[in-house]
């Protein structure tokens, strides 16, 4: 296997949580890369909170598709055979009803209590958190894909979030380019590290307290 690093590694590892037939909601940006790394034999149905199940990615140049079928970012998307569109009322009833197997989101901050902040940056204008609050509350499993530190090198996995919260205690897993961290009742457990990354490096770049088991696995 060619070396996988950075965002590709995050997407590759996150996609391994998916099971064949799952309905998954992939947040704007990095989460959509998971579709490039689906394990062999795993086929998922992509849900979007604006009212569709079965999104199949952006059309190729010159390929016709319905311009009214868009993803959560408003980008035109293909719809796979068997896919369907519906109104926002039905969409959020579906999400809140617990029918989404996995919701994958990005984050500005996550803390050791499983709290998530992913919609507002101080000094920036934001319309609101969109459907993220519902997606965290309604999905059976919530996975956060994020770089371990921000552009200034400051940890994004904190003892306590400082930004306005999207969800309280809703995060199950954090997948970064350094590690896979599982939130349990006991706290944040370091389950896996990336190739060449030591436990000590992960700890040094994480503000939150981590539980270190006797054996830490590999992301690949």
**What gap in Å lies between CA 178 and CA 220, rounded to an integer?**
11
- At residue 216, the pLDDT reads 98
Q: For 147-180, write each residue's pLDDT tens digit.
A: 999 999 999 999 999 999 999 999 999 999 999 9
Show the domains of the chain with their CATH numbers.
6-46+101-218 (3.40.1080.10)
How confident is the prediction for the chain on average, in pLDDT?
94
What DSSP string runs through 147-178?
-SB-TTS-BSEESS--SPPSBSS---EEE-SS
Please say whether the dihedral angle defined by the alpha carbons of residues 46, 71, 131 and 12, taken in this order, is positive or negative. Answer: positive
Confidence of residue 22 (pLDDT cuts 50, 70, 90): very high
Q: What is the DSSP letter of 42?
A: -
Q: Residue range 77-106: average pLDDT? A: 95
- At residue 124, the pLDDT reads 78
Q: Given a cut of 80, is residue 2 above it in pLDDT? A: no
**What gap in Å lies between CA 179 and CA 79, rounded to an integer?**
33
**More reliable by pLDDT, 104 or 131:** 104
The highest-confidence range among 55-59, 70-74, 125-129, 196-200, by mean pLDDT, is 196-200
194 touches 177 (CB < 8 A):
yes
Is 112 buried (19+), middle (13-18) or exposed (0-12) by CB count in 10 A? buried
Q: Given a cut of 90, is residue 39 above it in pLDDT? A: yes
19-33, 104-118, 119-133 — which is least confidently predicted? Answer: 119-133
Confidence of residue 122 (pLDDT cuts 50, 70, 90): confident
**β-pairing, 187-193 with 217-218?**
parallel
Q: Residue range 78-93: average pLDDT? A: 94
- At residue 73, the pLDDT reads 80
- By annotation, the residues acting in catalysis are 49
Percent of the chain with pLDDT over 90: 86
Please name the helix (run of DSSP H) or strand (run of DSSP E) that holds residue 202, with its range, or none. helix 199-204
- Among all chains, which residue has been given the structure tokens 């079965």? 54
Q: Given a cut of 70, is residue 1 above it in pLDDT? A: no
**What gap in Å lies between CA 34 and CA 173, rounded to an integer?**
15
**More reliable by pLDDT, 34 or 122:** 34
- At residue 42, the pLDDT reads 97
Contacts of 62 (CB under 8 A, 6+ apart): none
Contacts of 72 (CB under 8 A, 6+ apart): 27, 28, 48, 49, 50, 130, 131
């Amino acid at each position: 296997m060619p070396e996988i690093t950075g965002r590709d590694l995050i997407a590759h590892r996150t996609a391994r949580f998916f099971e064949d037939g799952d309905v998954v909601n992939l947040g704007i940006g990095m989460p959509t890369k998971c579709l490039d790394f689906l394990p062999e034999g795993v086929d998922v149905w992509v849900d979007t909170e604006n009212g569709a199940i079965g999104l199949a990615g952006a059309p190729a140049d010159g390929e016709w598709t319905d311009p009214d079928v868009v993803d959560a970012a408003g980008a035109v998307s293909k719809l796979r055979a068997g896919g369907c569109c519906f109104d926002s009322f039905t969409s959020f009833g579906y999400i809140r009803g617990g029918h989404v197997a996995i919701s994958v989101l990005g984050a500005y901050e996550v803390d050791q209590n499983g709290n998530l902040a992913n919609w507002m940056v101080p000094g920036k204008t934001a319309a609101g958190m969109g459907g993220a609050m519902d997606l965290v509350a309604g999905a059976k499993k919530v996975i956060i894909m994020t770089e371990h530190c921000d552009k200034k090198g400051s940890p994004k996995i904190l003892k306590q979030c400082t930004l306005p919260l999207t969800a309280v205690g809703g995060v199950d897993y954090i997948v970064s380019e350094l590690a896979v961290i599982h939130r349990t009742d006991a706290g944040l457990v370091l389950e896996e590290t990336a190739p060449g990354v030591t436990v000590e490096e992960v700890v040094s770049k994480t503000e939150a307290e981590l539980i270190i088991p006797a054996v830490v696995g590999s992301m690949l």
